[in-house]
Amino acid sequence: MNEVILLHGFCENHSIWDPVKDVLDAYSVNAFDLPGFGTNETVIETMDDLADDVIRQMDQAKITAACVIGHSMGGYVALNLLKRYPHRLTGLGLFHSTAYSDSTERKEARNRAIEHITQYGADGYLKEMASNLIWINHPEHDDLASRVHELIKNERSEGLIQALKAMRDRSAETEVLQQTELPVLMVAGFHDTFIPWKDMFTQASQCRQVMLHRMNHCGHLGPFEAVSESRQILLEFVNWVYQR
């Protein structure tokens, strides 16, 4: 069976893929919880640790290789897998993600978030994040933000802090992205305040095999903001990977 693994982003858990993953029902699909999120209580320190845990889950599920698609932080993990375990991937998907490392300003923002969560806990931070993931002018912004918050409201401070540190300290993976012969998917939100679509366009132009999509009415969370479009993109890409 052709395998697909979906990796969620920061503050999220596997359920973030629920609105779209059934479009891949012709494939064997696993949506994993990354360490510190959902039901995964594994303690990590680095992006390598996050990727190693995905390998652990793949081994546990007896998955030799898979098309790995990551949202945001999940994309950082997928890129780390590509660098360190290339034989375990059949394709790479980046939903609102980037191969660039954090800028100085972004690292400072991560540090402020760590300080805030340490002092005040995760509740207020998660509510704000749920709102920021959605394009502010999306006609269903408040409803979507409420739905996302309901999915992520129980995420733990410890998991958020360890992930913030791992993202802050991760290396750039632009060379890995440029050199891979695997099919690559890059999905950008035109109104994404976290990952500028122009950055993704620049990176896509340097890939050897790439499928690039820009969602014009979307922020950082395509699987919720643009469900039909996300479903179509996912199916098109995975069909390409497995040449159905």
Residues belonging to the chain: 244
The domain of 51 spans 3-242
Q: For residue 1, what pLDDT is reported?
A: 77
Q: At what angle do helices 157-168 and 104-120 cross, to 10 degrees?
A: 160
Please count the structural domains in the chain: 1
Based on the number of CB atoms within 10 Å of its own CB, is 181 exposed (0-12), middle (13-18) or buried (19 or more)? exposed
Tokens 């913030």, located at residue: 164
- Phi then psi for residue 11, to 5 deg, are 75, -5
The alpha carbon of residue 81 and the mean position of all alpha carbons in its chain are separated, in whole angstroms, by: 13
> What's the CATH code of the domain at 236?
3.40.50.1820
> From edge to edge, which strands make up the β-sheet containing 3-7?
28-32, 3-7, 66-71, 89-95, 184-189, 210-215
Q: For residue 244, what pLDDT is reported?
A: 60
The tens place of each residue's pLDDT in the chain, 244 residues long, gives: 799 999 999 999 999 999 999 999 999 999 999 999 999 999 999 999 999 999 999 999 999 999 999 999 999 999 999 999 999 999 999 999 999 999 999 999 999 999 999 999 999 999 999 999 999 999 999 999 999 999 999 999 999 999 999 999 999 999 999 999 999 999 999 999 999 999 999 999 999 999 999 999 999 999 999 999 999 999 999 999 998 6
Q: Alpha helices, DSSP H only, in the chain?
A: 47-60, 73-84, 104-120, 123-133, 141-152, 157-168, 174-179, 197-204, 222-225, 227-242
